[in-house]
Amino acid sequence: MFHIEESPLIKIISRFGQLSWSHGGGFVTEEKERHPERNYDSYPRHFSWRFKKPNQMIDQAIVEAVESYKGSVEWHIKYRVKALGGINWCILPKRVDEYAREGKKYAPEGLNERLASSEYYIAKYEPEWGKLANTDIPNLAKHIEAYVTGKCGEILEKL
């Protein structure tokens, strides 16, 4: 059985409503041990999810919380409305998104070129920045929790 590191963002976001699914935030521990050359600790994390029953006020509060956060790195939240219903959300370091748009991607040796990403690029060429982004996640999670709880406390009590 594999062990996946859990992100503090998963814990916080799941308090705001039941999730249909979530992805990201950690790596399979065994994969990190098998491929230390991939420098996973410098690979900036992201977190994606979809609520089963979205609430516009909670969604808006999460967006405002991410946008208002002043931490070690700048964070970004984006979303995609699905044709079959629901909204897929993603919180990630803004630099990751910018590099992806600029085409700054890299695939570690032994990995298919199709899997090249801006996250691997940062881990390879800016590893200290990737580590800095990852150490900022607990503070971002605390900020989101405080902001959303303060703005939507009555709604959250009913969940």
User: Are 126 and 96 in contact, with CB atoms under 8 Å apart?
Assistant: no
Find, among 44, 51, 49, the residue nearest to 74 by Cα.
44
Radius of gyration of the chain (CA): 16
* pLDDT on residue 3: 45
Produce one character per residue of 95-123: b if its CB has 16 or more CB atoms within 10 Å, e if not.
bbbebeeeebebebeeeeeeebbbbbbbb
State pLDDT tens for residues 82-138: 887 789 999 999 999 999 889 888 877 766 676 678 988 998 899 999 999 999 999
Enter the tokens of residue 124.
Answer: 């390879």
* pLDDT on residue 105: 85
- Taking all residues of the chain, what is their mean pLDDT, rounded to a whole number? 86
Task: pLDDT band for 2, please (50, 70, 90 cuts).
Answer: very low
pLDDT tops 80 at residue 19 = yes
Q: Establish how many alpha carbons lie within 13 A of residue 72's alpha carbon, considering only the half-sphere containing its beta carbon.
A: 14
Task: pLDDT band for 30, please (50, 70, 90 cuts).
Answer: low
pLDDT tops 50 at residue 67 = yes
* pLDDT on residue 5: 60
User: Are 32 and 40 in contact, with CB atoms under 8 Å apart?
Assistant: yes
What counts of helices (H) and strands (E) characterise the chain? 6, 4
Cα separation, 133 vs 121, whole angstroms: 14
Task: Kindly state the average pLDDT of the residues 42-71.
Answer: 95
What percent of the chain lies above the pLDDT cut of 70?
A: 84
